[in-house]
Each structure stands twice: as structure tokens, then as C-alpha cells.
Amino acid sequence: MNITRHEHPASPSDPGFALVEAEAALWRGVVVDMFGDEDLADGPLARWSEGSRPSYFQHVRYAARTDDGRVVGVGTLELPQRDNLHRAGMSIVVDPAFRHAGVGTSLHAAMLDEARRGGRRTFEAFTWEPLEPTGPRRLSGVEGDGVIDPDGEPAAFLLGLGYRLVQVETLSGLDLPAQADLDRDVAEARAVVPEEYSLVQWRGVTPAEWRSDMAELQVAMSTDVPMGDADAEPSVVDPERVRSADESFLAGGRDLLFTAARHDPTGRLVAFTRLVHEQGRPVADQWETLVVQAHRGHGLGLLTKTANHAAVPEAWPDVRRLITGNASENRWMLAINRRLGYRPVAACGWFEHRLETP
Ligand SMILES: CC(C)(COP(=O)(O)OP(=O)(O)OC[C@H]1O[C@@H](n2cnc3c(N)ncnc32)[C@H](O)[C@@H]1OP(=O)(O)O)[C@@H](O)C(=O)NCCC(=O)NCCS
């Protein structure tokens, strides 16, 4: 088995993009094996775009190849460049036919070595998990009631390498209701929200006039949501980072749909939610929903979310289903999702490994 290091390809037309395609295919296999469909699998272009802004996140790949050159495992190391300089993201996938032979451990060792040499000391990794653990044992995060099977393949691998479970995320799916039902949900949500809030919607890159407010909301997204006891610092976000992040989604063949709530007396955006859709997929991902602390309790979470959902059929006529993830301890957001008809379909484990500091 050969382990080789690869810089992130500068463009999808670079020869190095083949490794991103191989990685996406391996992850697609993981998702299909677990859930029976591809709803949760990102395509190669979307995967590539996540490393396309090296001044924010540097991506480095390690490939495991057989002697005849076949890629049987890929690890991606993600190194934040603007904040959280002590952290590194690890993502490792191995062809099922080559598991339990040390490939994953070798990829991890190479990535850990590079990250440590670069001064990183906290490492995170995520796993797909079935909704109900299959084995007899249960492992929960530091908060919340979500559980996973510690003996499942990826969890056992990470626990064996010294990681611990920080948080269990619940993934839920919603078959998109008819437009009339979506509109009714918006009207009901609007009825309880004070008149001093109005809705602002946009698609694609955030308009310049809202980038500064969105930068502040993105920072709040890194401080005001449940994080277990993760060793993470607040994100550093400015209007330029908002623009560049949005553009990288579009470069990755994805589209964005935002609904925000403006507090009219101050003219500031105080809540937002976003849906992400990869071209050609019948699902869209419901990403963040955030209401800033001072404006909570007025129904803005439900209103922004219902209004964003109601805009989906016109924006993306092919989308049939929405998928969302929430920390299992985030009861407030889970309650909103259940009310909208989301049903849990899977879980996701967030693992962290901290090196001893001298
Ligand atoms: C998690 C994953 C990457 C592990 O890959 P792998 O190549 O099987 O990993 P390794 O072989 O190095 O280690 C896995 C297990 O095999 C054992 N092992 C290592 N070398 C071995 C060998 N020569 N013979 C037998 N077993 C071996 C390890 O000790 C470990 O067993 P343990 O957990 O009981 O201690 C793989 O299962 C996978 O791709 N899963 C889906 C993707 C995923 O969920 N990734 C999450 C991590 S980011």
C-alpha cells in the first residue's frame, strides 16, 4: 500500500481532481450502504469547492493506493487559516474491501503528523450513524440524549485513535409539502411575530448591503449554538468572507436560498436561515437557522424557516425533500422541525481528539 500526499487541485480541470472524484465515490458508497439512497452524499464538485478558498481553509489529501495504482482510501485534512488555528479537520474513507488492514490508521497517522508539525493540537472528525445504534452498547455526547454505537466501524476506529464523542447530531428529513401547505405554515408563523420584523429573501451570493449583518450572524452561529464542550474558538467573519463563502458554493455547483428577518426600527438583520442545493439532486439541505439572543422568543426561527421552505418550489422545482441536522440537545430547534413535519432519519457523530499540551 502506498500513501501519497496531494495538494488541493486549483480547478476541477486539473488532473488532481480525479482524487476528489475517487473520494466522493467512496463516501457515496458509505452513504448508500448505510441509508439505501444517495440523499446525504456530496458530489465531487461540491467537495472540491470546500477546499477552493485556501486563504480560509487549506485542504490537503492523502491517498492510499494498491501497487497497481487503484485508490482504496482517501484522507482529507482541513486546516482553518483565519480562526481556530489550533484545530484540524480529519476525514477518512476506506474502500470496504480494504478495511481492517491498517489503511485508515496509516492515513490518519500521515495527516496527524502534518497537522502537528503545523502547530495543530485539536482534531475533529465526523461519522454517519444509523438513527438507532445497532449493537448492545450506547455512547452519548457530553450533552443531549443522542446516542451512537461505540462498536460501529467508524466510531470504534476513532475511539481507538484517542478521539472522544463531543456531540450527536440528529439528521431529519421532510418530504416537501404542497405549496398551499407551505404558504399556510408561513401565514400561521407570521401571525404571532411582532410587526416590527419584516422578511428579506435572496438567492445565491448575499447582496452587499447585508454582508456585514450576515458576518455578525455567522459569528453568532459559532458562539450561540450548542457545541458540546468542543475546544473551538468563535469564527472570525467579515463581509468579504461572507461573499467569498457564498461564491465558493456556487463554484461547487450549489445554489443558496436565504430568508432573514430584519428588525425594522434598527434596519438590522437579526435572524436568518439558509438552504443549500446541489444541482441535479432531488434534495436540499437545510443548514443554519439562527436568531440573535436579544430577539429570541418572537417566533422568528419558525417564520424564517417556513418562509424559506415556501420559496423552494419556485427556486428549485426538482427538489422533493429537505434534510437538516441539529445537535440532539437543541430541543428548541428540534421542536420547530418536528412541528414542520421533519422526521429523524439518521445521526452524525462529532468526535474530537486533543493532544496533551506540554
Ligand atoms: C473508519 C474507517 C476509515 C477505518 O478504516 P480502516 O482502513 O478499516 O482502518 P484500520 O484498518 O486502520 O483500523 C480499523 C480497525 O482495524 C484494526 N486493524 C488495523 N490494522 C489491522 C490489521 N493489519 N489487521 C486487522 N485489523 C487491523 C484496527 O485496530 C481497528 O480495529 P479496532 O477498532 O478493533 O482497534 C473505515 O471503516 C471507513 O472508511 N468507514 C467509513 C468512513 C467513515 O465513517 N469515516 C469516519 C472517520 S473520518
143-158 confidence digits (pLDDT tens) = 777 899 999 999 999 9
| SS3 label, residue 191 | helix
3-state helix, strand, coil in the chain (%, to 5): 35, 30, 35
Q: Is the CB of 310 under 6 A from ligand 1?
A: no
DSSP class per residue in 217-270 = HHHHHTTSS--TT---PPP---HHHHHHHHHHHHHTTEEEEEEEEEETTTTEEE
Q: Is the CB of 109 under 6 A from ligand 1?
A: no
Cα three-residue angle 193-329-28, rounded to 5 degrees: 100
Q: Report the Cα 221 to chain-centroid distance in Å.
A: 13
Q: How much distance in Å is there from the Cα of 89 to the middle of ligand 1?
A: 18
Give the lowest-confidence range in 8-12, 45-49, 320-324, 336-340. Answer: 336-340
Give the lowest-confidence range in 219-233, 278-292, 296-310, 331-345. Answer: 219-233
> Which ranges of the chain does DSSP label H, i.e. alpha helix?
17-35, 44-49, 103-117, 153-160, 179-191, 208-221, 239-251, 300-310, 312-315, 331-340
Give the lowest-confidence range in 72-86, 95-109, 225-239, 264-278. Answer: 225-239
Nearest atom in ligand 1 to the alpha carbon of residue 126 is 48
194-213 confidence digits (pLDDT tens) = 999 999 999 999 999 999 99
Residue ranges and CATH numbers for the domains of the chain are 2-172+350-354 (3.40.630.30), 177-319 (3.40.630.30)
**Residue 200 dihedral angles phi and psi, to the nearest 5°:** -130, 130
User: What pLDDT sits at residue 31?
Assistant: 95
Which residue has its alpha carbon closest to ligand 1 atom 20?
102
d(CA 74, CA 44): 13
Give buried/exposed letters for 220-239 (b at 16+ CB in 10 A, else e): bbbeeebbbebbbeebebeb
Whether 77 and 115 have beta carbons less than 8 Å apart is answered as yes
Give buried/exposed letters for 328-358 (b at 16+ CB in 10 A, else e): bbbeebbebbeebbbebbbbbbbbbbbeeee
d(CA 328, CA 169): 5
Distances (CA, A) of 151 to 160, 165, 281, 301, 358: 10, 13, 32, 37, 32
Pocket test for ligand 1, best of 105, 108, 161 (most atoms within 8 A of CB): 105
Question: Given a cut of 60, is residue 358 above it in pLDDT?
Answer: no
Strand partners, 148: 139
d(CA 300, CA 303): 5
Give me the sign of the Cα torsion angle 74, 284, 38, 159.
positive
Which residue has its alpha carbon closest to ligand 1 atom 41?
93
Question: Given a cut of 90, is residue 231 above it in pLDDT?
Answer: no
Q: How much distance in Å is there from the Cα of 326 to the middle of ligand 1?
A: 27
